[in-house]
Amino acid sequence: MTKKIILSLILIACLLMAAACGNQEPNIAEDEISVEVSNRTEEIIVSFAVFYGDNLDEWGEELLGDEVIEPGETYTFLLPEGQYTVLFFTFENYIINAARNFDESISIQIGGEEKVPVLFRNLTEGDIAFLSILESGSIDFEEETLDEEVVDKIFDADMLGDEVLPAGLSRFIFLLPGVYDFIGLNYDLEVVFGHSEIEIEEGSTITIGQE
């Protein structure tokens, strides 16, 4: 059973027992924090918000219940004070965004004015630890090894932060239209994939590995 199927089953189970946190202007208690999510995409629907407490060994509660966050909508979750992680997914279990290790009220914007969604599909057998998007021509893809300067450049342009793109899963990154170089590294700083001079004009999919 693939990780994607397992994730689907877990999320369905979470939906059966989760209660929505409400989408009205909240009255925030002294021991609560708020997570405001603004969906600024044109057509992507936030379907699941999976919440973890301090212990990340087990799946957390699904916060949206029967609700979704449609394009143009803003939704506010109320959580008890503490350090948390919240992951946002589409119905297809594509990762949209994540907020990690926060212990105070935050605002999250998904997408943005003129930005288009680029879906990265990791069909390899390993996690992608660094996913970097650079101005076209930033990296010489004919070089067999990455020198320290190039590695630093990749680190600076990493879009995942504390996240990874796990094997078998997909994640959206939102970009302004343009021409980009894409490169992904594993934990050992080995190049998993590299694409140069990719023109992004509208929603696109970049597949890493083979079907």
Residue pair 62/48 in contact (Cβ under 8 Å)? The answer is yes
- Residue 52 confidence (pLDDT) above 70: yes
- pLDDT tier at 93 (50, 70, 90 boundaries)? very high
- Residue 154 confidence (pLDDT) above 90: no
- When pLDDT is averaged across residues 129-151 and rounded to a whole number, the result is 80
pLDDT in tens, 54-64: 655 555 789 99
Tokens for 171?
Answer: 């994640």
Residue 54: what pLDDT? Answer: 64
> Helix (H) and strand (E) counts for the chain?
2, 13
- When pLDDT is averaged across residues 150-160 and rounded to a whole number, the result is 88
State the chain's mean pLDDT as an integer. 82
- Residue 44 confidence (pLDDT) above 90: yes
| Structural domains present in the chain | 3-110 (2.60.40), 116-208 (2.60.40)
DSSP 115-171: -EEEEEEE-SSS-B-EEEEEETTSS-TT-SS--HHHHHHHHHTBS-TT--B-TT-EE
Pick from 19, 31, 144: nearest CA to 79:
31
- Residue 18 confidence (pLDDT) above 50: no
Residue pair 23/46 in contact (Cβ under 8 Å)? The answer is no
- Residue 177 confidence (pLDDT) above 90: yes
- Where is pLDDT greater, at 2 or 123? 123
Question: CA–CA distance from 33 to each of 48, 82, 103, 147, 156 (Å)?
Answer: 20, 8, 8, 43, 30
- When pLDDT is averaged across residues 166-179 and rounded to a whole number, the result is 95
The proportion of the chain whose per-residue pLDDT surpasses 70, expressed as a percent, equals 81
- Residue 198 confidence (pLDDT) above 70: yes
